[in-house]
A and B are shown apart, each in its own frame.
Chain A
C-alpha cells in the first residue's frame, strides 16, 4: 500500500534500522525517516563488512583469489568461483574438459537451490512465520552434505580451478543427488506450496507490495529475480550462454506484476528449473579428466576482459584488467545485490515499515556481497 505522504517537518523522526537487526540479512544500516508508521525517506548505508577484496585481488596471484570469491556471496559461492574461473580462462585461453564443465554446472545449480531455500526461510522469518525455516534447512542440510563430500567445505567453497575442478565426483554423489531431487520434489507441493505459498496471510502480506517497474529495473541495473519478477526476460544462462548451459532444456520463469509475490514465485520456479538442469546434467555426464592444462604461473595477455554469470541474485560481472603480469592489474566485481539494493531508496518511499521490510526480504540481500 504505497500512499504519497505529506512531510510535516516537525512530525517525522529518524529510525535507524541499525547494523544489528534481525531483519537486515547481514550488517546493513538503513536510515529511515518515518512519519508514524510510514517511511518518508530510506537511505541504505553500506560498508560495515567491507573487506576490500578488490585490493586483495591485486596483491595476490590469480589463483590465490579463489578463496576470496567464496567469501563474498557465501550463499552461492560456487557461482562466484565459476565467474572468476571463466574470466581468467577467457583471458589466458585455457581449455576446460567437458566433464569438468558438467560438474561445474551440477554443483552451481545445487548451490542455487540451497541459496533459494535459505532465502525462502529467511524471508518467511522476517514475515513472522517461524516454522518454514526449519523445513528449508532440513533440505539444505542434504545439499550441504552432498557438496561437502566432494568439495570439503559446507559454505564457502573453493572448488574450481583454472581449467576445471580440483576433485572428481563419485557414484555416491550422483546417487545422493538423485535421491535429494526426488525428496525435494516430493516435499515441495505440500510443505512449501500448500503450507506457505497458498497461505492467505502470506499472500495478503506480499501481493502488490514493493512494485518495481521494468523501466526502474533498467535504470538501476537490477538483474536476476528482481528483473524477472518485473517482466524482463533476461537470464545470462539463456541470453549470453556460458559453459555447457546451451545443452540443457530449461525455462526461465518470468512474472509481470513486479511485486514481491512475483519475485517470490520466480525463485520458487527457479528451484524447480535448477532441479531439471541437474537431472539432465547427471544423465549426460561424460567421462574424462576434470582438470585441463593450465600453466603453473598464469600470465594472461594484457587487455580488458569481462565475464558474467547468473547467480541466485542476478548477473555477477568480473571486469578484469590485465597488464601481462602474474597478478591481476585491476579486478572489479559487479555485485548483483549492490545494484538491486540501489532500488530500495526510490521504491520504499511511502511504504509502511512492515511492508518496507517485506520488500527488502524479497530483494534477497546478502550484505557481504554488496560490501565486498
Chain B
C-alpha cells in the first residue's frame, strides 16, 4: 500500500514535470525548427541558444492581466483553457514509456485516450463560443467539424492495430512488437499484415496532424483569415494554456503513434530496449510535425473535410476489412 502510494505520487510529479517541460520547450523546438527552415536563426538571446526563451515567455504571459471582455460567458470563458489542458496531461497516465515505466496499464487505455481527445475538442468549442466574437465562433465551428471528421478514420485504423495485437492495453500492444523493427506494427511481416499496416500508419499520422489542429489543417486558428481564431479574445495565461494544451496534444499524438506502430520502447535492432528509444522516436515524430507545418500552406475547409469523409474513411474501412480477413484466414 505504502509503496504504491509513493509510486503514484512519483508518477504524478514525473508526469507533470514531463508535460510541463515538453509543453514549454516544444515551443522553443518549433521556433528553432521554423527558423532553420526559413533560413533564420530563431531565438538566440535568452540563455544559451535561446533555451531560456520559454521561461521568458511564460513569465511574460503570467505577468499579464487576464482580460475578460464584457459580454462573454464568465464561467465558460475561464474554464475553457483549463479544459483544453486537462485531457492532454491526463492522457500521459496511460502511456507506456518503457516496460516498467508507465503510470497505469489499463485494459482499455486506447479507449480512454480517445475519450479524452473528445474533451479537448469540446474545449475549443467552448472557448470559441464563450468569447462572443464572430471570428471565434466561425473558428470554433470549423475546429469541431474538422476534429469530428478526423476522429473517425483515426479510430478505424487504431482498431486494425487492436485486432492484430489482441488487446486494447497500450503496454500489451507495445509488448507484442518487441525484438527488432521487423516486429513493429508498421512493418508486421507475419500473416501478410505488411500489406495493410503501413496504410494504417499513414492514415493515423495524417489524422493526428488534423486532430491537433496543426498546419496544413489549422483551420481553427487560421491566422491570416480569422486573426487568432478561437483564441482571439484570450490573453495571458488563457492563451498560454491553449498553446500548451496544443503542444501537449502533439506529444500525446507522437507517443501514441510510437506505441501503436513503432514498437514503443523497442530498439530497431532488438538490442537494448529502453525509455530512451521511446523518447527518440517521439521526438523524431514531433520534428516531422514541425517540418510539415512550416512547409505547406493551408487547405480549404471543404477540401479538408472531403479528404476525411471521402478519402480517408473509405480507405480505413477497406483497410479494416482486409486486416480482419487476413486475421481470419491466417
Contact = CB atoms under 8 A, between A and B. Distances in A.
Interface of A: 1, 13, 15, 21-23, 37, 124-131, 133-135, 138, 195, 199, 201-202, 204-205, 352-355, 357
B308 to A, nearest CB: 15
Contacts of B7: none
B38 A205 contact: no
Nearest to A357: B225
A134 B40 CA distance: 8
Contacts of B135: 15
Contact of B39 (A135, A195, A204): A135
Contacts of B223: 22, 128
Interface of B: 34, 37-40, 134-135, 138, 215-216, 218, 222-225, 227, 294-303
A201 B216 contact: yes
A202 B297 contact: yes
B31 to A, nearest CB: 12
Contacts of B134: 13, 15
Given A22-B223, A353-B225, A357-B225, A129 B296 contact: yes
B301 A131 contact: no
Contacts of B303: 204-205
Contact of B224 (A37, A126, A199): A126
Contact of A134 (B39, B224, B302): B39
A199 B303 CA distance: 15
Query: Chain A interface mostly helix, strand, loop or mixed?
Result: helix
Contacts of B39: 134-135, 138
Contacts of A126: 224-225
B34 A204 contact: no
Given A23-B225, A357-B225, A128 B294 contact: no
A127 B222 CA distance: 9
B297 A22 contact: no
A131 B38 contact: yes
A355 B38 contact: no
B296 A357 contact: no
B310 to A, nearest CB: 14
B300 A352 contact: yes
Contact of B38 (A1, A22, A134): A134
B30 to A, nearest CB: 11
A133 B40 CA distance: 12
Nearest first, the 8 A-B pairs at minimum CB distance are: A128-B298, A129-B297, A134-B38, A127-B297, A128-B297, A23-B224, A22-B224, A126-B224
